[in-house]
Structure formats: C-alpha cells, structure tokens
Structure 1
C-alpha cells in the first residue's frame, strides 16, 4: 500500500484506503461465515440430499436402499402424471415469458411516458404482487367457478355455465391468466425502475438523429435495460417452475393442473411416502431450472463480452 508525505514530514495513507485490523477481520469472518452456513444448511444441504436420495428407495422410516436410476426410469416411462406435468410447466414458462413479461414491459413504458393518473395505475397493477399465489388461487376460484363464478355471470351463462376450472382442457389457461395477473405487476415495477434510470440524453440524441419513438425504444432504450432483462428472465423462470400454491389451492394440482412441484409434494409427503422417487422428480425440476437460467446467462455474458 503506497503512502504519501505531508508538510510536517509525517507519512499517511491515501484517502479512501483502510487496512482492516484483527478485530475487523474476525467480525467479517463471523458474519460471512454465518451467511455461508445458513445458505449451505437451508439451500445446498437439502439440494444435495435430494440428489443423493433420488438414487434410493426410502419411505422415511425403513432402511434406505440403493436403486440407481430406477426412479428416473419409472418417472420417464411408467408414471402417467410426469409428462403432463412437464408440459404444463413448459406452458407456464412460455406464457409468463412470452405474454405476461412483454405485457408488463408495455405497461411500464406507458406509465413511464407520464400518462394521467399514472400513480393510480402503477399501484393498481402492482397490487396483486403483494398477494400470495395461494390467495390468487382462491380468487381464481371465485372468478372461474362453474356455478357461482363471476365470469359466467358476466357472460350471462348461468343456465349453461362453462366449467372453467373443472374442464382439463380449459383450466390450465384460466390458471395461467391468474398467475400472469400477478406476474405482470412485478415485471412492470422492475422495468419501470430500469426506465427511470435511462439517461434522457440518449433519447434526445436519437431524436436529433431522426429516430421515431419505436426506433428509439428498440435501438436505444431497450439495450440499456439489459441488466433488468437478466433479472426479469431469472424471476420468470423461477416463478414458472416453482409454481405450486395456486393449483394446489384450486384442485390440489389434479385434473389438468399437474405440475412437477405438485408431484414432488404428493410423493414425498403423501400417503405413499416415496421420498426417493419424489426426490428424483425434484432433481429433474432443478436440472430444467438451472438449464434454462444458465443457458440464458451464458448467452448474455457472451453478448456483453462481444461488445
């Protein structure tokens, strides 16, 4: 560390630099160590345990027996709910990523332009975010219920009601609308914060160069939102693949609403208590989640490096 000399001949350290003493290092070590231990205990410990248990047969009471890849083979070839659950999770991811997320960005752009009552719109759209997905599931039941639902009453179909959440061909789409209702507000707030941070001089320079509003947004504004895009992408993947509460509140994730998270719960804490088999499904969910997120982040990092 370099030192500077003052008028009196004394040497002092440059401003902005500070050497940690022994007490500081001990405090930092304790604080960081506690954070790492909590992370290992709550996140990585159960994760690694699930990976290990996925190769075993265990009901939580009897002795653990090693079965190798049998749990995965059973899930892929003999478990009838597995592939519908995979399809529904991918539909969830596609709907949130291709419909709800762009719509949240669209609302953020509109509010950022300073429309009248923008504070009211911002609060109203964000309001569902403070609700848990279980509460959103109960609200979906009130809206889409066959006999007393608000949607059938609004459409005037009390005499010939549509079973929106009982029909396996329709209920997944109704639940996706409810989940997107909550997800849109979250995305809107994130993008709105990103738009507020965009340097206005960039927009002015684009206008001077003759760019219209559409060209300015896609050529100037949207590229500057790259950090927000990464956060939104990761959140969207997590929200899509960990979905559980809303379908469990509606019909316990059955009859067209099967999800991998529901299958994990049913097998691990259900009557069968097939902890090894449920852990195998959980590992599949983990691999899919990491695969999507890591692939996207690698592409983003490569694009950033190329620039």
Structure 2
C-alpha cells in the first residue's frame, strides 16, 4: 500500500500518494486526493486531452493517462518507468490549476507578491519575467504569494482574494545569482524551483493590483482601459483551452468583476533593460502614490 502524504496549497488539504517536496505539509484532512488508479476512458482519435462535464483527461506518451475529476481528485494511470519529476511538475502546474478551475476559482497565469498586506500580481506571456520580477521583490523582503498559478476567489464581501500556492519560485540560476546587473535578462533560461519561505503564509491575501507585463521602447506604467484590461485578463486566464459551454461567460463575469474591484495597469519593459531593480522601484512608487 502506498504511503499517504498530506499537504496544503491554495487553501486545500491534499492527500497524495506522490511525494511533493515543494508543497507545504498540511493537516491529515482530505479535500483533494492525488492517487494512482485505472482510467478506463478511451479516446477515439489521438486527442491530447478530452473535457466533459466533470472530468478532464490527458493522454501523454511519456506519462500515461491523467484524470482530473470534479475538483476533487487527480488520478494517474501511469506508464512504466515514468519520469516522476515531469509528473510532479505537471500536477503542481496544470493539474492543480484545472482542479481549482473545476472548483470555481478564477485561474490566472502569473506571479504575485505581498506588499502592505495586499497581493500585487504580475501577468504576461511566458518569458517576460513574471517569476524573476517576483524574485526581485522577494529580495527586498516582500513575501511571495504564488507563482505560475494565481487562484482568485471572491469572498463573502465580493473582494477578490488570492489563495497562496507553495513557497517556491521557478527561476533560472543565472538570474538568481545576479538578479540586478546581468549582461542580459535570463528570462528564457532553464528554470528550477527556488525556495521562498520568508514571510510565506497559507492565508488568503486580498488582491489590490495587477500589472500586465509587456515589451516596450521604454519602461513605464500606465492605466489600462476596461476593454484592454478585460482582454488581458481573459488572455491570461490559465484554463481557457478547457472551457465548456458556460465557462466562457463565467470567466467573463469574473474578469469584469475583478476590473471593478482592483487596479489593472500595463507595465512596459524596455527590451534591453538589465537592472530589474528599476522595475521594482517603479512598481513600489506606483503603489505608494496610490496609497495616499
């Protein structure tokens, strides 16, 4: 019989037959299970994934079949000699993101840090520097809230809250060792998990601002119109490829409600900027101005 490991992430107690060194240990209570089992669903063609009302199935040539069921469980029907690191990475990213999506969360692709007891999030395309920017804030003693998967839930007062994931960031060793004055921004380098435990808390954090990262001729911050902000939120919704008939309208409502309750701005980044501390200063000053 496989050992059971208990973890906490995104406000959920997770019982897992797989060890996740990156996850924080939790209570021996099960909200969600991650386990091995047979997935009897058969695809008709060569689909990579199939979505129905309660399940999302993935068919991987190197891992096997993975079923994400109704926001309650992730069931792995593995191939022989699978790469456990690849399996863990999939579950911690796409797997948990889709499970949270099934539970009604708004899932955004980005990173978030905590400043003055509020979450500040960074969205944008892969390679623009969301995680590396969060690491820069962490070096200034701002706790990391989450990386890659931003799980937003509206509380009883309709305030958007981010549920923290786990106390790790995925950044490149090159950036970790020289974050401010590198000869280049290593945003597309191979990334590894880096522990960021200082100040990390599993408690939900009210979301105050979102900065949408974009390339620009100069580094600057400016407001986004409703249409552009809404487009940015929708395009950075982590699970849009898996939407069913009603999911698109639900996502639109969630994104619209988010715009009404927080600040959403564009953070343009000059392509040849080497000193990311300048970006940290810009965001700090912007937040400070809006605090008065």
More helix by share: 1
Q: Quick one: higher RCO (CA 8 Å, sep 6+), 1 or 2? A: 1
User: One fold, TM greater than 0.5?
Assistant: no
- TM-score bin (small chain): under 0.3
TM-score by length of 1: 0.21
TM-score by length of 2: 0.22
